[in-house]
Amino acid sequence: MYKILLFIVISSNILLCDIFKIASYNVQNLFDLNYNKTEYQEYIPNKKSLWNNITYTTKLFNIIKVINDLNSSIIALQEIESKNVLEDISKYTKYKYKSFIKHKNSAIGLAILSKYKILKSKTIYIKNNSKLQRPIQKIIVKIKNHNLIIFNNHWPSKKNKESKRVKYALILMKYIKQYIKDSEYLIIGDLNSNYNEYETFKYNKKLNDTSGITSINHILNTTINNKYITKYNIYDSKFNSMIIHYNLWLELKYKNRFSYKYKGTNTTPDNILLSKKLLDNKNIEYINNSFNVFKPVYLYKNNQIKKWKIKKNIHQNSGYSDHLPIYALFKINNNITKIKKSKKMSLYSKNNIKISQLYNIDTLEQNIILKNIIVIYKYKNNYIIKQKNDKPIYIYNTKYKLQLGYMYNIQISSIKNYYGLKQISKIEKIKSLNKKYNYKKLYKNSNTINIKSNKDKYNNEIITSLKGIYKNNYLHYKYKNIEYKIKLYSKNKKLLPKNNQKINIISGHLIIYKSKLQIKLHKKSDYELINN
């Protein structure tokens, strides 16, 4: 419904203001047919890999179709090999202006196509020892007598440790601070960093060589003190002297936040970060809630991105890119109403806040009180709480002691998503109501619901009376005579049953982890064995 209203607003105001779209698209290795000795092995032209005129032409026109259908005013491209490729694209697209940069030793470069005049282009080099290092592309475009600065990026992939990406972020922030901190600018492109990198990164030993410091959250300041910068707090006085950025991924519901799939898991390597000036309702400004992922059926179907297909290093002459384009709308108009507080902000003016409301926000602007919560599950310092007729939520490692089945009012100051699991990460106060409730009534009985029908609906619920056979990490069970399976997980693998054992789940924690629903077992009493 909101998207329809947005379209109507845009249509009705088209004569009053200029609206334009900015997009970003990693095209997945679009190489030309010239041999420069910097190509990846499978893109050396006219060899056994079959990168030739036929496959190049297919890939080229597939990417051109996406660009034309996206119909943005400005599009930042990553993984373009050469000016020749950019010229071939521009022949069949309606862009008057273009810019391309590439380090001489790098296999791929960066490009921008624009319907607005590009006043200046600059290459910001990243000095390191890698022959494959990629610079940052900076352009200035003129839009109705206003200048907009765009930084197009393609940072090192996660084959590299975080320190490589931190170096990019530090150089970019130094440049912004030195030259353009009070300008209208945005940071766009493939940062190879998730918008919520800080929430999970510290647990990744393979990448974490920075003591938990992330390039996107801690250096570019999309978070401060592990809380997101939002369009509502970006102008708080406490941030007056700071260079901070708002990441547009926060505009979408959690389940829709992806432009790339890593082993089936939703990730957000492609980002658009806004500077303060693009949210001040002056000159060039971002159109509230216009950020989205471009995913028509030909690009995305059955939870799969239609990437360019290569099998055994041989091109299959089919597909587009392994990334989806992202885009946002902007306007030039000093007279349109300022950003209004959304339903997210109304949370703080209510006395009876529901847990379910927490699932629609990413960060708390201030402390809130959850009333009449019931503790329905307890494991060490971790709890699952629920309000009657509402969703449950997980409390992670709190210093407060709560009793199973008892009711409380609790004041919380921090929430987060851990790979999709919504949880309360900090409690400030608790007040016991000295009431006890038959908490098992709030469990979900497997005989009355199909837990696989809606994974988001059952996130953090406790499932009971689920009988099945455990095989190779999965519980195989039946619901209305239809066979299903769901992953069974425990941090302590010794808790898991043995292969081919029949079990009955008594209190299984349903969690979304990396986009997939599974049952987490916290303790041995969460299930019982069924004797044949």
The pLDDT score that the predictor gives to residue 14 is: 40
Rounded CA-CA distance 512/417 in Å is: 10
Last residue of a domain, one of 440, 466, 493: 440
CA distance readout (Å), 55 to 46, 309, 317: 10, 11, 5
SS3 for 299-359 is CEECCEECCCCEECCEECCCCCCCECCEEEEEEECCCCCCCCCCHHHHHHHCCCCCHHHHC
The pLDDT score that the predictor gives to residue 345 is: 52
The pLDDT score that the predictor gives to residue 204 is: 84
Copy the structure tokens of residue 374.
Answer: 């019931």
Last residue of a domain, one of 391, 416, 440: 440
Same domain, 188 and 311: yes
CATH number at residue 425: 2.40.50.200
Rounded CA-CA distance 445/465 in Å is: 6
Last residue of a domain, one of 418, 440, 462: 440
In a domain, 59, yes or no: yes
Sign of the four-CA dihedral 238, 244, 248, 252: negative
Copy the structure tokens of residue 191.
Answer: 């940062």
What number of other Cβ atoms are within 10 A of residue 451's Cβ?
21
Q: For residues 15 and 308, is the Cβ–Cβ distance under 8 A?
A: no
CA distance readout (Å), 378 to 180, 258, 496, 513: 51, 33, 19, 20
Q: For residues 201 and 210, is the Cβ–Cβ distance under 8 A?
A: no
Number of structural domains (the chain) is: 3
Q: Which residue range forms the structural domain that includes residue 63?
A: 17-332
Enumerate the β-bridge partners of residue 150.
Answer: 139, 186
Query: For residue 215, what is the DSSP state?
Result: I
Same domain, 127 and 143: yes
Angle at 376 between CA 371 and CA 381, to 5 degrees: 90
Query: For residue 498, what is the DSSP state?
Result: P
CA distance readout (Å), 371 to 349, 352, 387, 423, 433: 14, 7, 8, 17, 10
Enumerate the β-bridge partners of residue 508.
Answer: 463
Residue 470, Ramachandran bin (φ over 0: left; ψ between -120 and 50: alpha; else beta): beta
To the nearest 10°, report the CA torsion of 107, 108, 109, 114: 150
Task: Give pTM, 2 decimals.
Answer: 0.90
Rounded CA-CA distance 418/528 in Å is: 28
The pLDDT score that the predictor gives to residue 16 is: 42
Q: For residues 83 and 100, is the Cβ–Cβ distance under 8 A?
A: yes
Block residue for tokens 């019931």: 374
Long-range contacts from 36-40, C-beta under 8 angstroms, 24+ separation: 36/82, 38/105, 38/106, 38/107, 39/81, 39/107, 40/107
In angstroms, the first-to-last Cα distance of the chain is: 53
In a domain, 9, yes or no: no
The pLDDT score that the predictor gives to residue 15 is: 37
pLDDT tens per residue across all 532 residues of the chain: 445 455 444 444 443 458 999 999 999 999 999 999 999 999 999 999 999 999 999 999 999 999 999 999 999 999 999 999 999 999 999 999 999 999 988 999 999 999 999 999 999 999 865 655 799 999 999 999 999 999 999 999 999 999 999 999 999 999 999 999 889 999 999 999 999 999 888 778 899 999 999 999 999 999 999 899 999 999 999 999 999 999 999 999 999 999 999 988 999 999 999 999 999 999 999 999 999 999 999 999 999 999 999 999 999 999 999 999 999 999 997 554 454 444 445 677 777 899 999 999 999 989 999 999 999 999 999 999 999 999 999 999 999 999 999 999 999 999 999 888 999 999 999 999 999 999 999 999 999 999 998 888 999 999 999 999 999 999 999 999 999 999 999 999 999 999 999 999 999 999 999 889 999 999 999 999 998 6
CATH number at residue 452: 2.40.50
Rounded CA-CA distance 274/380 in Å is: 41
How many residues are listed for the chain in this entry?
Answer: 532
In a domain, 54, yes or no: yes
In a domain, 10, yes or no: no
Same domain, 152 and 246: yes
Rounded CA-CA distance 339/280 in Å is: 9
CATH number at residue 108: 3.60.10.10
Same domain, 435 and 453: no
